[in-house]
Homo-oligomer: A and B are copies of this chain.
Amino acid sequence: MNFGFVTDENMSLLTDLYELTMAQVYFKEGMNKIAIFDFYTRSVENRSYFVNAGLEQLLYYLENIKFTNDDIEFLRSTGKFEEEFLQYLKNFRFTGNVYAIDEGEIIFPNEPVVQIEAPLIEAQIIETFLINSLQLPILVATKAMRCYSVAKGTVLVDFGLRRAHGTDAGMKAARASYIGGFTGTSNVLAGKEYGIPIFGTMAHSFVLAYGDEEKAFQAFAKVYPDNAVLLVDTFNTIEGIKKAVQAMKKLNMKSFKGIRLDSGDLLKLSKEARKILDQSGYKDAIIIASGGINEYKIKDLLDNNAPIDGWGVGTELVVSADLPYLDCAYKLVEYNGKPIMKFSKKKVTLPYKKQIYRFYEEGKIKKDLIVSFDEIVKGGVPLLKKIVENGKIVKELPSLSQIREKALENFKTLPEELKDINKTVHFLPEISEKIKETVKMLTKKYIQR
C-alpha cells in the first residue's frame, strides 16, 4: 500500500514523460543552448484580472530538483533511456535564471508571469511542474480577491480543505486565498506550515451527537468561552438561534463569539438572527455564513444589507468553481538568441525575452506595455524581476503576510470597472513595435515556406 505522496525525494519525477524523452533527444544531439520560455495566461470570459501566486513553491522546486538514485532506477526500468543520459540526469540541477512578477501582483492575459532563461534541456524538463505549481494558486488567489472585492470589510475564511482536489490543493488553496485577501483558513496544517491564522466553528455532527442543541452549545462554550461560534441550523434555524441564546444565558455569559448559518435563506435568517441576538443583549455576537458561498452570493447578500460579519467560503473557492482551470501556457519564445513564435489562429505567442512595464495614473493601472527585454521604456514600472540567477535565489523573498499586504495594496490600483465581478473587461497589454514587427516577420517567413 502506497499513498503516493509527492515529496522532496520524488518530486523531480512529477513530470510528463515527454519532457524527459525530448530532453534525451536534445542531449544526444547536443542541442542545449539558452532558451527562453514564457508562462502566461490567456483571456477568459469571467475574469478581468488575475492575482499572481504560487511562485515560492515553484522556486522551491527549482532550487531542489534532482534525480535520486531511486528516480534513475525507475527511469532505467522503463527501457526508454540510455545510460549516458541517465548519468546526465544524475547530476542534473536547474542552473538557469528566473524572471517573475511578484506574488500578489495583479496580472493580465498574455503577460509573461514567469520567464525562464536556461539551457534548453533544463527549461524543458521543468515545464510540467512549473505549470502545476502556478495554475491553482493563481486561480484561487484570483477567486479570493473577487470575494474580497465585494466583502465590504467582512471577514473571509477558507473552509475548503475537504473539497480541494487532494492534499496539496488544500495547502495551495489556503495559501493563495490568504494572499487574495482572506483572513485565515480552517486548514490546521496550512496554519503550521505557512503561519496562516486558523479558524473553526462546529459541525452538525457535534449537535447531533448531543441530540440537543442547548446541551451541545453549552458543552462547547464551556471549553471555548471566548471562541464559540455556534452552528444553529441543524434542526430549525430560528429555534437554533434561540437555543444558542438560552444556552449562553444559562452559562451566565455576558457575551459570546457568535453563530453560524449554514443553510436556508441567508438574507432572511441573518436579519432575524441579528434581531434575536441584539434583543437578548448579545450585540457583539457575530453572524458567520457558510454553505455554497461565492463572490456572487456575498455581493448579493451584502447589497441587500444582510447583517453577516464573516464568511466560510469552501468548495467554490478552492476548486475555483466557475473557472476550474486556467487557460495558460509555457511557450518557447527565444532559442540561442533567435526570437521564436508558435502559429495558431487564436492563440498569441510573443517572441523574445521580454519585460512588462506598468503605467499608473492617479494610483490606478493605466496600461501595461510588453517590450523585448532590451528596449528602453520611460515612465513605467518593470514587473518582471530577476529572482533566480544561475539556479540560486538572488532576491530576498517576502513573507506570506508581506505578500498579502502587497496584494491588498495592488487591489487598490485596479481600475474600478475591472472590479465588477459581473462584467468582464478584457484589459490586455500593449505590445511594443519591435515585437509586433518580429511577429509579422516570423509569420511571413513561416507562411512562405
Q: How far is the CA of A319 from the CA of B132 in the complex (A)?
A: 12
Q: How far is the CA of A6 from the CA of B74 in the complex (A)?
A: 23
Question: What residues on B are CB-neighbors of A251 within 8 Å?
Answer: none
Question: What residues on B are CB-neighbors of A446 within 8 Å?
Answer: 235
State the interface size on chain A (CB cutoff 8 A).
Answer: 113
Question: What residues on B are CB-neighbors of A364 within 8 Å?
Answer: none
Q: Flag if B200 contacts A332 (CB, 8 Å).
A: no
Question: What residues on B are CB-neighbors of A236 within 8 Å?
Answer: 343
Q: Flag if A188 contacts B6 (CB, 8 Å).
A: no
A191 contacts B by Cβ under 8 Å: yes
Question: What residues on B are CB-neighbors of A303 within 8 Å?
Answer: none
Q: Flag if A219 contacts B29 (CB, 8 Å).
A: yes
**CB under 8 Å from chain B, chain A span 394-439:** 397
Q: Flag if A168 contacts B200 (CB, 8 Å).
A: no
Q: Flag if B234 contacts A57 (CB, 8 Å).
A: no
Q: How far is the CA of A210 from the CA of B124 in the complex (A)?
A: 14
Return the CB mask of A22-45 against B: 1 if under 8 Å, else 0: 101110110100010100000000
Instruction: Give the distance to chain B from A89, nearest Cβ to Cβ, in Å.
Output: 12
Known: A14-B189, A80-B227, A209-B120. A135 touches B159 (CB 8 A): no
Known: A3-B60, A22-B206, A186-B18. A162 touches B128 (CB 8 A): yes
Q: A25-B222, A135-B165 provided; 13 other pairs, C-beta below 8 A? A: A2-B193, A3-B57, A5-B7, A14-B187, A16-B161, A18-B200, A25-B223, A37-B205, A74-B192, A120-B209, A166-B167, A204-B332, A209-B332
Instruction: Report A's interface with B, CB cutoff 8 A.
Output: 1-8, 10-11, 13-22, 24-26, 28-29, 31, 35, 37, 56-57, 59-61, 63, 71, 74-75, 78, 80, 120, 124, 127-128, 131-132, 135-136, 159, 161-172, 175, 186-194, 198-206, 208-211, 219-220, 222-224, 227, 234-236, 263, 315, 319-321, 324-326, 331-332, 335, 338, 340-344, 393, 397, 446, 449
